[in-house]
Amino acid sequence: MERRLAPEQLRSHRWYGTETVRSFNHRARTRQLGLSAEEHMGKPVIGILNTWNELNPCHIHFRERAEDVKRGVWQAGGYPVELPVISLSESFQKPTTMLYRNLLAMETEEMIRSYPVDAAVLMGGCDKTTPALLMGAISMDLPAIFLPCGPMLPGNLRGEVLGSGTDVWRYWADKRAGLVGEPVMRDLEEGIARSPGHCMTMGTASTMTSAAEVLGMTLTGAAAIPAVSSAHTRMAAATGRRAVDMAWEDLRPSHILTAEAFADAVTAVLALGGSTNAVIHLIAMARRRGIDLTLDDFDAASRKVPVLADLRPSGTYLMEDFYLAGGLPALLSRVTDLLHPDRPTVTGRSFGEGIADAQVYDDKVIRPREDPLSQEGGLAVLRGNLAPDGAVIKHVAAEPWLLRHTGPALVFDGHRDLMRRINDEDLPVTPDSVLVLRGAGPRGGPGMPEQGMLPLPDRILKAGVRDMVRISDARMSGTSYGACVLHVAPESHVGGPLALVRDGDLITLDVEARLLTLDVPEEELARRRAEWKQPGTVFRRGYGSLFDAHILQADQGCDFDFLAGSGGAPEPDTE
């Protein structure tokens, strides 16, 4: 795309280039920063939104990567400015980073709006940072390009290759079953996460950075590059260079994020066997663009998109294997008939041009169409009288014999109740029981924490059972696995049917039929509904109170009700 803007058409010109006292002061304060006029006047200002902090191990290398981005910006004739924003650390932040995704989205939008920024580099990767940064950039709609932090190195335990999250849950279950001791767990603790970068399984982080690439918001091939690879450093500098060109071209998210782009992102998530969390995040992102992406779109795509990435938790391999096998462009080259090749991307080339020369270098990691990991996509959307507005299950990561199951409910009211009673010797549980967790949704959680992979009771584990049907209005980590029905909507906290379930009620899960039903007469449910009282909020002030008042349900993307769409907020007055 040819350059279109003249220097005086740059957004930053309103801060720096006019003959007003405010513009004079902006120039004077820039001299205070130690910069001469030649270094920034008439050049695109590139805001580098950095989500680094010292308690986010996924992003701990972002101090250095920000410098690499700056190098690229200077090379292309731009003026880089680093703008720190909230770092959402999946590893440490409580009660859940999902509580703060919308806060980072708001900060991203307002940071870009309030400063003299012509284009933005969005530095993220740890689960919620990717959708949050993109949601904010979509609503502000200035030129923006995403820089994924990259997956960490594979884990290792005494010669066994490990995947973060997935193998923690597996070994923890073995520990509770009495199969492994403390020496093994100590070695696991030191070997599971060996470098900077996000989870190297196809968890939420890998899923969402891959989605960002398919949407056209990254350089081609960026999502799978390992965080510690020299290729990641080169990609960061190239991202900085491209951001400068995007500023001159005025290439905005609204030009790139079409309905076809979101349809292709859904296809990619399913072919990857990606995280269930992608459903919530992609719906929220699409709504920011005014695109009506729904649960039904995911389910319809799932019936025709095969799972080709043999990656944990659904498969065998890890993200470095995926990168060396050709990465996301290679996988997409095997589903081109399901994609929209002519749409634009931040690269300046069409989506199809970016993957035209891609090759698969390892058929074990990226399966051929005739030998998929699963004939259907990795997610299924369920409906029924227990989930009128839908629920999701990652059925490729569950025991097949549980995908059509009827069993008696065993109900827990919140995570504390679950942890207090799950190993009670008097708990009436069998492998056929359906474990139900409520009070863990967007408002009830609060924040819809990743509690949906309910732990199995110790005595069930010791009997050799490793999976049971579990149902909740919570989410689960993308690295998790099992027959876990998630995102039940409406949630129990607002009076959804999950609030009416009682111990012993028969629940039927039928993934093939896409059904989740509670076998209780409607008259009895009506009686229970009349007796139900809504729980109070845990928040009395601050951001939590804002969250409680405005959060939408899972099927609507869990955005705030006042944030959908773009525009509506005026450009700041710089005169």
Count the alpha carbons within 13 Å of 150 in the hemisphere toward its beta carbon. Answer: 26
| Mean predicted confidence (pLDDT) in 122-148 | 98
| Mean predicted confidence (pLDDT) in 225-240 | 98
What's residue 246's pLDDT? 98
Question: What ranges in 152-202 are assigned the alpha helix state H?
Answer: 166-176, 182-191
Q: Residue 82: which H helix or E strand, with range?
A: strand 79-84
What's residue 257's pLDDT? 98
Q: What is the pTM of this model?
A: 0.97
pLDDT tens digits, 33-59: 999 999 999 999 999 999 999 999 999
Give the number of residues written for the chain. Answer: 575
Number of C-beta neighbours around residue 401 at 10 A = 9
- CA triple 95-96-102, angle to 5 deg: 125
Residues contacting 452, CB < 8 A, separation 6+: 437, 440, 470, 472, 474, 475, 476, 480, 484, 485, 486
For 31, the token pair is: 């001299």
pLDDT tens digits, 458-471: 999 999 999 999 99
| Mean predicted confidence (pLDDT) in 171-188 | 95
Q: Residue 40: which H helix or E strand, with range?
A: helix 37-40
Give the whole-angstrom CA distance, residue 153 versus residue 323.
12
Strands 155-157 vs 380-384: parallel, antiparallel or unpaired: unpaired
Among 449, 305, 414, 289, which Cα is nearest to 367's? 305
Give the whole-angstrom CA distance, residue 127 versus residue 118.
27
Give the whole-angstrom CA distance, residue 240 versus residue 7.
19
Give the whole-angstrom CA distance, residue 373 versus residue 379.
13
How far is Cα of residue 455 from the mean position of the Cα atoms in its chain? 23
| Percent of the chain residues topping a pLDDT of 70 | 99
What's residue 2's pLDDT? 63
Among 165, 112, 154, which Cα is nearest to 572's? 112
Can you list the positions of beta strands (E) in 344-424? 380-384, 387-393, 404-413
Do residues 86 and 103 touch, judged by C-beta distance below 8 A?
Answer: yes
For 30, the token pair is: 């820039």
For 386, the token pair is: 């227990």
Number of C-beta neighbours around residue 75 at 10 A = 13
Give the whole-angstrom CA distance, residue 241 versus residue 218.
13
Count the alpha carbons within 13 Å of 58 in the hemisphere toward its beta carbon. Answer: 29
For 147, the token pair is: 């820089």
Q: For residue 350, what is the DSSP state?
A: B
Decide: helix, strand or coil at residue 65: helix
Q: Is the peptide bond before 368 cis (omega within 30 degrees of 0)?
A: no
Mean pLDDT of the chain: 97
pLDDT tens digits, 328-341: 999 999 999 999 99
In this predicted structure, the answer to whether residue 1 has a pLDDT above a threshold of 50 is no
In this predicted structure, the answer to whether residue 575 has a pLDDT above a threshold of 90 is no
CA distances to 226, 287, 446, 458 from 416, rounded to whole Å, are 37, 34, 13, 17
**Identity (one letter) of the amino acid at 45?**
V
CA distances to 46, 151, 184, 185 from 61, rounded to whole Å, are 20, 12, 29, 27
First to last CA, the chain: 32
What's residue 566's pLDDT? 75
Question: For residue 292, which phi and psi values (nearest 5 degrees)?
Answer: -90, 80
Buried b (16+ CB within 10 A) or exposed e, 287-324: bbbebebebebbbebbeebbbbbbbbbbbebbbbbbbe
Give the whole-angstrom CA distance, residue 336 versus residue 91.
36
The distance between the two most distant Cα atoms of the chain, rounded to a whole number of Å, is 79
pLDDT tens digits, 6-35: 999 999 999 999 999 999 999 999 999 999
Give the whole-angstrom CA distance, residue 364 versus residue 325.
9
In this predicted structure, the answer to whether residue 364 has a pLDDT above a threshold of 70 is yes
